[in-house]
């Protein structure tokens, strides 16, 4: 079981909670990008993009390398494995519970529908 009280897991889920950062990660899955390239689809400033990148770096999801004046980012998917294990545990938990509910519903006879005054014979 994945540790529930993990600061790194908290950081990963915080980083993934923002659509912009998820899109940046998706773009990085295709290969390294500069900060400018990551910012381009969002029409945001380099400063704003840099803030998102710092959140992703803090979570350990990306690595940034400085080459001269160019900052290159690349995906580091390792921390996603802990998040995946955490999600997999709860997927199994809910799949099991829903399977039990499904079985109980299939085995239980359906109750008769309630009658109303309109249903009574005159």
Q: Is the pTM of this model over 0.85?
A: no
The pLDDT value recorded for residue 66 is 93
The pLDDT value recorded for residue 101 is 83
Sign of CA dihedral 29, 65, 24, 88: positive
* CATH (residue range 1-104): 1.10.10.10
The residue extents of the domains of the chain are 1-104
Measured between alpha carbons, how far is 89 from 71 in angstroms, rounded to an integer? 37
Non-local (6+) Cβ contacts of 122 within 8 A are none
The confidence band for 57, taking pLDDT boundaries of 50, 70 and 90, is very high
């Amino acid at each position: 079981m994945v540790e529930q009280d993990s600061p790194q897991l908290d950081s990963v889920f915080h980083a993934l909670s923002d659509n912009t950062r998820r899109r940046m990660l998706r773009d990085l899955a295709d290969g390294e990008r500069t900060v400018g390239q990551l910012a381009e689809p969002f029409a945001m400033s380099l400063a704003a993009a840099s803030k998102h990148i710092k959140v992703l770096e803090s979570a350990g999801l990306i690595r940034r390398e400085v080459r001269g004046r160019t900052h290159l980012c690349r995906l580091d998917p390792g921390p996603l494995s802990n998040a995946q294990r955490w999600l997999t545990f709860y997927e199994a938990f809910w799949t099991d519970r829903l399977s039990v509910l499904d079985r109980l519903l299939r085995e239980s006879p359906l109750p008769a529908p309630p009658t109303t005054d309109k249903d009574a014979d005159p």
